[in-house]
Structure formats: structure tokens, C-alpha cells
Amino acid sequence: MISLHRSCFLNNAGISGSSSPFSYKLKKLPPASVKVTALAPNKDRNSSVLIENSNPLEEIKDVTSSIADVDPNSTVSFEEPEVSYDDAASDDQLVTPWSLSVASGYALLRDPHHNKGLAFNEKERDAYYLRGLLPPTVISQDLQVKKLMHSIRKYQVPLQKYMAMMDLQELNERLFYKLLINNVEELLPVVYTPTVGEACQKYGSIFRRPQGLFISLKEKGKIREVLRNWPQRNIQVIVVTDGERILGLGDLGCQGMGIPIGKLSLYTALGGVRPSACLPVTIDVGTNNEKLLNDEFYIGLRQRRATGQEYAELMHEFMTAVKQTYGEKVLIQFEDFANHNAFDLLAKYSTTHLVFNDDIQGTASVVLAGLVAALKVVGGTLADHRFLFLGAGEAGTGIAELIALEISKQTNMPLQEARKKISLVDSKGLIVKSRMVSLQHFKKPWAHDHEPIKNLVDAVKEIKPTVLIGTSGVGRTFTKEVVEAMAALNEKPVIFSLSNPTSQSECTAEEAYTWSQGRAIFASGSPFDPVEYNGRVFVPGQANNAYIFPGLGLGLIMSGAIRVHDDMLLAASEALAAQVTQENFDKGLIYPPFRNIRKISAHIAANVAAKAYELGLATRQPQPQDLVKYAENCMYNPAYQSYR
């Protein structure tokens, strides 16, 4: 059995110390032939080995020994196209289960990228030394999915379901994604909000093995090396958090890692980005959460958060190292940073990197889509409506700005004027001019001429909004009085309770429908079950950025975009709103069901890519003719591959 890990790979090459000159990418080659080109900068620049039609295990022995023989300063280059079609391989297309070696035997069963469990067929069991390591039965992937859903459904506690899913991801990646894609509506609340929030809170005690990359202050000055420790090279998407504002749960420090992991599993399941191209990162600069600091099981740095220059320097080293390691076109998604850093990081890096902030921009795009769809039910144009927000952080101001931008585009109204249709309430009351000096910079554009108002109910009565949006991170703040005030003002009040997880939702679906006598057009950030009121069933929509970021990311990747532009967020919004069917509207839905999410993501990706080409920000040339088809063809397919 040959099992070659990177460490022995480097040792064989006689490399020691901190830097590894090796890089490797797999080149697509005709079946059963492997060509490795070793590029040695100092000598033997182009030595190459070509092995054809032999036993794959033997091939690898040859390949690895020739790699080991080349100059230690050499670069071994296997090239892989940025958008890989390998993952779409069908039954009749044979592939080799590559890692840096051909996995076989016991190691193959423990390699999550290639393991198929009982689905290894007889031939594969012979060829890959699996005889005796598996019970005799051979079953299909579909039967495995059925069996696993059966056992997951038996768990009563959501966190147990979450742990079962994480274990599966570590054991058999394709089965994990097949399960998730086939049962997306049932499993999204498990791997994502609300359960992922609880998982982050309890990360220290449920922690079994590390997932993702942890970069703490201890790694300062060494971040490029840390990135090289990650086993994959062709990274296309990074989701990074510093754990300071995890959902609406506050500072969870290093335990925020659950969020990048969850978001990236949706990149693959909902947007079709290859799992090997996804990198979850948590930046650990400490935590101000006393409970965690005193928790003996806490997994992060036991110190208060670094701020100011120390924080900025670590983030800058990370951002620079990412671009140096993965190039200009790697997408960096900022996730769940606290307001004060989120806006600054986005402003600082949006002109030099391909970055976007999911909480500011992704949430804005999904809410705008929901509002555009809701107009079909409530009537009027965006400019005809008045918007009131509870919460003026990343999500609140991000959504407000995108609505203003869209109104301004639709009506040619100056942006300043369009902003006047939107009012925000924060913990100190309505944001008004007289508070200007003490306002954080991102709130200033929303300080209108108005008398101060202290609480939300009074603001509703005074401003008379048609749309009420909660982004406060504080649960149960849309009280009966607030919802009744909205219902008294509007025939069909639009009410979005966006804070996550469910415990932080501004009101429940049941409250929204009951207190508005079934008239509310309601959506929430975390899922709620359908509600029966007066003999009618209301299905609440889930206004969650999960509708947007997977398709947006795919669109950026497939067009080779180098920057994110606001117009791409509008394009994503438009594409999502266009996917709501009459049948959905008839059920009171303003978002299409998640079960069609891959099709929806393909349309979002196509619209985003088209915008990237239009704006001259796309580097993949020529532009594919049918972008929707192209997006679909690029998507990772979790069906098992057949091993030769």
C-alpha cells in the first residue's frame, strides 16, 4: 500500500525548515496516463516522467520517487483548470482517486474525499485492497442516503444531528453533499442557522477534530507558512471570521469556526463550488467573552481581543498572504465581524482584493430580492414605499443602502433623496440629525431631519412605514404593539425579522401572522415552520443570505472576476426575485423554495457573471455564450466516481 502525505513527500525531497518550494496541481490527462512535470528553478528545469496504462498504484510509486529525486528547490506542477469538470464525471468515465498518492486499503476508507463506504464495488474492493475491510454487501449511494436520513431523523436533539453531519463530512465527503443536496430543506437548519449557532456556542465541548484553518496572533509573521499547511492548493473561496459577532449571539471568539465551515458547505451544496476549492478560516485575536475566557474547554487564545494596530496588522498580513498564495481571483468572504471592523475591512480591501461582506452585502441582496418580489403582492414600486429598520449595523445599513441604490437607479432620483425614504432605529432610538456627532460613520448617511424618537412603536406610528425590517440581533423586539401598529397602518404590512438564530428573531412567524390577523407578508433570517391561522396555512419565507452568496460566488469564480461591484449584488437580487413563481406567490411566498436552490444559484451566477463581463471585471475569456448552462456545467456533482 502506498500512502504518501505531504510531510514525507517533503522529507523525501530533503527539505527542512519553514518554507516549502513545492506546489502541485493535477493536470487533466487522458485516462490511465499521468504526466508529472518537475520544474526545478536551478537545474533540470523541465524534467518529466510519462507513465502510461499501468497499475495506478505502480504509477504513483514511480511518480513520487521521481519527484523525490529532483532538486529540493524544485516546483512540481500539476495543473488543474479553475473550473473543473472532473466532479461531473459519470459512471462510464473512469477517474483515479488522487490525493498526493493513490489512496488504498485502510487509508482509503479513512480518506473523506475518496471513501465510498459500502458502495465500493467488487472490482474496486479487489483493486484497492479493501477485501475484508468492509462487510460483504455492496449498496448504492442512494441507499446510503436513505439509511443516513433514517438515522439522522431519529435524533431528537438538533445538535446531535449537527454532529452526525459533521462526522459524515469527515468520513465521506461525497455522501455528505449528496445527503445535503437531496434533503436541503430538512438539513439546512442543521448544518446552518439555527443549529450552527448552538454548535459555535458549545464548540469547545463538542470539538472532536479540527476543521478549517485557525490563524491566531501566535501565527503573526508566519501566515504564509500556515496557508501552506492546508492540504489543498487550488483555493477559490475563503470564508473568514474573527468570531466577534457570530450571528446575533455576540463574541464567540475562536469558536466562531462553525460559521465559515457551515457557509462553505453551502458554497458546495447550494452553489456547486468544489469542496477542495473552499477554505474556512478563523482569525483568533482573543475574545472579550468572559464566559469563554473562564471556560476550561475553550479552544481559542485566552486573552482579551487585540484591537487597533495589532489587529489591523494581523488582518493585513492575512490578506496579503492570501493573495500571494492563491492569486488575484480568490474570493474572500468576510463573515460575522463586529460592525467596527466589518465596514473598515470592506472599505480597505475592496479596491485591492476580490472581497465581499456577506452580512452587509449578501443580506442586502437577499432582502432586496424579497422586497422586489413582495411588490407583486403589495403593489407599487420601491420608491412608493417607506422603510423602517430596527438595527443599524452591518445588515441594517447594508440593506438600506442597496434599497436606496435601486430606487435611485429606477427613478433617477439622487441617492441622497432616495435615502430619505428609509429610517433606522438603533438602541438609542431613531437616527436623526441631532445625534450626528456621536454617530458611527456608517450610520451618518441615515441621520435625517426629524425630532428624536426613543422607541420603536412610536417610530412606527410617526413614520408610518409600509415595510418593517429587523436587523437588531435582539429577539422579541417586534412586540404585539409594534406588529399591531404596522397592521393598523397597512392592508398588507411587510415585516422581516432577520436576526439569527431563531432565538434572536425579532418576532416569530406565528406572532407576525396572528398579530396582523393573517395580513403580514413575513420573512425571517432563520427558518420557521408554516403557521395555520384562521384555517389558512401561511408559509414564511427565509430571507437569508444563503440564497445569494453561493450563486454570487460561483458567478465571480466562473467569470474570473477580480473585484466585486455593487451592480453585481443588484444583478444577484434581480435573478433571485425572478425565480419566484406564481405558485410560490399563491402560497404567500416571496422567495422560491430552497429545494430548487441549485437552479436558482445557476441563474444568480449567470447574472453576476454577465455583469462582471459588462463592467470589464471578468478575466475568463471569451465569455461563454450560455452563462446559465455554463454555471450548471461547472457545478460539483457529489455522485460517486468509478475508480479504475
Ligand X SMILES: O=C([O-])CC(=O)C(=O)O
Positions in the binding site for ligand X (CB under 6 A): 193, 247, 336, 358-359, 500, 525, 544-545
Q: What is the distance between the alpha carbons of residues 300 and 317, in angstroms, rounded to a whole number?
A: 20
Q: What is the distance between the alpha carbons of residues 636 and 184, in angstroms, rounded to a whole number?
A: 16
In the set 192, 349, 630, 636, the catalytic residue is 192
Contacts to Mg ion from residues 279-338, by CB under 5 A: 335-336
Q: How far is the CB of 365 from ligand X (least distance, A)?
A: 12
Angle at 567 between CA 562 and CA 571, to 5 degrees: 105
Q: How far is the CB of 185 from ligand X (least distance, A)?
A: 15
Calculate the alpha carbon distances from 564 to 31, 265, 364, 404, 585 in Å: 38, 22, 14, 19, 31
Contacts to Mg ion from residues 214-273, by CB under 5 A: none
Residue 336 or 574 with smaller CB distance to ligand X: 336
The entry of Mg ion, ligand X, none that residue 269 binds, CB within 5 to 8 Å by partner kind: none
- 263 catalytically annotated: yes
The entry of Mg ion, ligand X, none that residue 339 binds, CB within 5 to 8 Å by partner kind: none
The residue behind cell 449537527 is 162
Handedness of CA 319, 322, 325, 331 (dihedral sign): negative
Neighbours of 644 (CB within 10 A): 14
Neighbours of 523 (CB within 10 A): 28
Residue 525 or 560 with smaller CB distance to ligand X: 525
In the set 263, 421, 443, 611, the catalytic residue is 263
Q: How far is the CB of 337 from Mg ion (least distance, A)?
A: 9
Closest to 522 (Cα-Cα) out of 595, 593, 589, 423: 589
Residue 398 or 624 with smaller CB distance to ligand X: 398
Q: What share of the chain is helix, strand, coil (3-state, %, to 5)?
A: 50, 10, 40
Residue 87 or 198 with smaller CB distance to ligand X: 198
Residue 370 or 624 with smaller CB distance to Mg ion: 370
The entry of ligand X, Mg ion, none that residue 525 binds, CB within 5 to 8 Å by partner kind: ligand X
Closest to 195 (Cα-Cα) out of 167, 164, 162: 162
Residue 96 or 502 with smaller CB distance to ligand X: 502
Q: How far is the CB of 402 from ligand X (least distance, A)?
A: 15
Phi, psi values for residue 389, rounded to 5°: -110, 140
- 513 catalytically annotated: no
Residue 364 or 447 with smaller CB distance to ligand X: 364
Contacts to Mg ion from residues 463-492, by CB under 5 A: none
Phi, psi values for residue 642, rounded to 5°: -90, 130
The entry of ligand X, Mg ion, none that residue 111 binds, CB within 5 to 8 Å by partner kind: none
Nine cell digits for residue 533: 391561522
Contacts to Mg ion from residues 327-386, by CB under 5 A: 335-336, 359
Q: How far is the CB of 282 from ligand X (least distance, A)?
A: 15
Q: How far is the CB of 165 from ligand X (least distance, A)?
A: 16
SS (H, E, C) 5-18: CHHHHHHHCCCCCC
Neighbours of 47 (CB within 10 A): 16
Closest to 268 (Cα-Cα) out of 611, 21, 634, 17: 634
Cis preceding-peptide flag for 501 (omega within 30 of 0): yes
The entry of Mg ion, ligand X, none that residue 500 binds, CB within 5 to 8 Å by partner kind: ligand X
Q: How far is the CB of 564 from ligand X (least distance, A)?
A: 16
**Is 87 a residue that touches Mg ion (CB under 5 A)?**
no
DSSP 640: P
Nine cell digits for residue 545: 443570505
DSSP 439: S
Residue pair 528/508 in contact by the 8 Å Cβ criterion: yes
The entry of ligand X, Mg ion, none that residue 193 binds, CB within 5 to 8 Å by partner kind: ligand X
The entry of Mg ion, ligand X, none that residue 544 binds, CB within 5 to 8 Å by partner kind: ligand X
Given the rule CB under 5 A, which residues bind Mg ion?
335-336, 359
Catalytic residues: 192, 263
